[in-house]
Structure 1
């Protein structure tokens, strides 16, 4: 058994990628490979790529370099979104031996028979129309919470986005499979499951381009809420037009779903939303936020926003800024628009100069800091439940409350992966919140 080949993984991008990397790693395990950390010497390095921003493309090259430094004879495989969109480009990167597209990535162990280095990466990628089947995934063992994939692909045609080109049509896992995966996760003593996908609010479309919804997202949420052994469920990102009032009301009274929503806005200007081909206007967004605040005043609401989209004037940007400033939200994820090949937006007039994009991005990041601080301040003095993580960071252990307030307390290994009832007391210099334990900790 000493000759077990070692495999290491690196994931770029979203929670969905993490869930898929974890599933692929388990496949390697089943085939007799030994998983090691990416920082260690391995025989095979698998890099799960992302293509959402230009930065992700650059990061890929840096990760390959890192792998080659650790072992210049190692076999390097690239999978994921960037591998589907630009396979030849990745194959040409020095050190890359294998590039697998959207349909091939889950069969990676079938392609790794010969570990000798190639002069040029070998490409196996499909026409994206062939990506019409569904592979369920979840991440486990990587952290205290698990990412559970429930849906893949997207039928929307947002003008800036390459995801439909990289992942194909919208399709979902069968409800019984999702529930089975959730049971498997909870059996591993994992306290929190985060639902993930490309467009999870569209949950229920079957395989092979079946556009009929077998179930709705609300059906999924209601069924998961009944699974024994799960203590927390979190919805990751959900489109405002697909987040229905019934779902918001159900979460507000749910046993396991936490009061935390992440809802992409992308722009606070209706002109820009139309140019982006988003499927809602800002008025719908306002309605969703107001509904959440009505039934869950303490909920955390995160927002995605893109700055510097073609045609975004100073007036459009200020419209977005003021809209977000006045809205009762908790934090922002700010993306600087970057041109992607084969998207409509790449050919649109009104290109915003890079320095203007950077300035707008900085303004919104500043607004995010202000919003998060105000949200944390509003929570001081309240009683919450915290799930503690496993890392000792400079003598402190961190965790998140159900409504996504980041807390810290002096390191105590007994707290790892436990849920504790606490009171939020004060905001620390690093922005996290100090706490008092409501129940005295059990002595070792």
Structure 2
């Protein structure tokens, strides 16, 4: 039925979205579609949306326009977190034909009939309480690493966050299915797997109504360490209260898990952490960083932080800034707080003016540049293993060491998706690291 039909995808947001887009794309290919790049002419365009950043919501309209510029009669579909939260809003965007919610997106091909454009976007969206089953996914073929989804949804009630409204309760893949997916990835010659989910440290909670943990996150990590053919496993992001000493020590002595952690902090002020309803205070975060550095001095630690949360005075912001400045971390992901409907924070007093949020964000981004530079400098002279990526960027090939130092060398296609021992020698003007092969 779909022979000669082409489909293209655009993904906004997180690694989890990328893994789900890949799985949905494979479903299209199985139905006879040919997958093409988003910049090419296609019969169907699927846009996987995000609700975390304000910008991602607005970009949807721009992306729809660029799809219709390639083919004004193309069938345009919106899926993902924003499609679950605001389906009617997406359906009202000019040129959108179909909007699918959290559970429907995995059956997208069954909602397509004749690819005739609709007068008004059609919406199929469940109540989020019905998002009570788990669909495993992974991304492949896009890069030299694969994003493997192990968990979905979240039971936390952080006051700024819409993710539980967009993705439902915490639920996990079975250990057997995660291992099966990891073996499939390995069989395709991919060297690195990044574990992803909404709250992966909560791994092990079963289907709806079965909230007990079948397996712990530590058991997941231990089992994955034995997947044949995978050279590297990376934990994408894990809550500080769920990152246990046992996991840190296992990673330190693992065959394949790399010394790289991404741990959301959100604020360096206990006052704000309580307002955010985070499940830890600063003391816990500090102990996680020191435990990692004690067992793996060369480990890379990334931090998520939110600026401009309601009630963030100059003093509380400086408390965060100074805390991060003194902490032995490697880089920051800085998010500027933006109001979200149906969250507690949107009703809070102490709104921080937009221009102040922007200024604070700039200060923390500057701190991140200094932190990354200091971390890279600390690694010069050391021997590391680099996995090279597949893109030719202005005559250079890039790669990452196991502890997430980004390196560059003149383009050589023979290096793509290969691992090499190198000595890190110097930092280039663009901030990337040069090396010599060992």
Report the aligned-residue RMSD.
0.8
Q: Which residue of 1 aligns with 2:418?
A: 418
Q: Do 1:36 and 1:42's aligned partners in 2 also have CA atoms closer than 8 Å?
A: yes
Q: Which residue of 2 aligns with 1:101?
A: 101
CA offset at residue 3 of structure 1?
4.6
SS in 1 for 2:7: strand
Q: Which residue of 2 aligns with 1:7?
A: 7
Q: Do 1:307 and 1:337's aligned partners in 2 also have CA atoms closer than 8 Å?
A: yes
SS in 1 for 2:241: coil
1:59 aligns with 2:59: yes
- In structure 2, distance between residues paired with 1:52 and 1:61: 16
1:274 aligns with 2:283: no
- In structure 2, distance between residues paired with 1:131 and 1:395: 46
Q: Do 2:380 and 2:424's aligned partners in 1 also have CA atoms closer than 8 Å?
A: yes
CA offset at residue 328 of structure 1?
0.3
Q: Which residue of 2 aligns with 1:442?
A: none
1:176 aligns with 2:176: yes
> What are the Cα deviations for residues 252-273 of structure 1, in whole angstroms up to 9, with x where unaligned?
0000000000000000000000
Q: Do 1:171 and 1:209's aligned partners in 2 also have CA atoms closer than 8 Å?
A: no
SS in 1 for 2:303: strand
Q: Output the TM-score relative to the length of structure 2.
A: 0.99
CA offset at residue 53 of structure 1?
1.4
Q: Do 1:302 and 1:333's aligned partners in 2 also have CA atoms closer than 8 Å?
A: yes
How many residues get paired? 438
SS in 1 for 2:292: helix
> What are the Cα deviations for residues 318-338 of structure 1, in whole angstroms up to 9, with x where unaligned?
000000000000000000000
Q: Which residue of 2 aligns with 1:293?
A: 293
Q: Which residue of 2 aligns with 1:432?
A: 432
Q: Which residue of 2 aligns with 1:317?
A: 317
Q: Do 2:3 and 2:32's aligned partners in 1 also have CA atoms closer than 8 Å?
A: no
CA offset at residue 210 of structure 1?
1.7
SS in 1 for 2:228: coil
- Which sections of structure 2, spanning at least 5 residues, go unmatched? none
1:336 aligns with 2:327: no
Q: Do 1:169 and 1:209's aligned partners in 2 also have CA atoms closer than 8 Å?
A: no
SS in 1 for 2:291: helix
- In structure 1, distance between residues paired with 2:350 and 2:128: 30
Q: Do 2:19 and 2:149's aligned partners in 1 also have CA atoms closer than 8 Å?
A: yes
Q: Do 1:139 and 1:147's aligned partners in 2 also have CA atoms closer than 8 Å?
A: yes
- In structure 2, distance between residues paired with 1:252 and 1:61: 45
Q: Which residue of 2 aligns with 1:138?
A: 138
Moved over 2 A (4+): none
Q: Which residue of 1 aligns with 2:158?
A: 158
CA offset at residue 209 of structure 1?
3.7
- In structure 1, distance between residues paired with 2:2 and 2:342: 48
Q: Which residue of 2 aligns with 1:381?
A: 381
Q: Do 1:83 and 1:100's aligned partners in 2 also have CA atoms closer than 8 Å?
A: yes
Q: Which residue of 2 aligns with 1:395?
A: 395
Q: Which residue of 2 aligns with 1:357?
A: 357
Q: Which residue of 2 aligns with 1:441?
A: none
Change in 2 beyond 3 A, CA 1:429/1:213: same
Q: Which residue of 1 aligns with 2:20?
A: 20
Which range moved further: 391-400 or 189-198? 391-400
Q: Do 1:160 and 1:276's aligned partners in 2 also have CA atoms closer than 8 Å?
A: yes
> What are the Cα deviations for residues 368-420 of structure 1, in whole angstroms up to 9, with x where unaligned?
00000000000000000000001111111000000000000111110000000
- In structure 2, distance between residues paired with 1:3 and 1:271: 59
- Which sections of structure 1, spanning at least 5 residues, go unmatched? 439-444
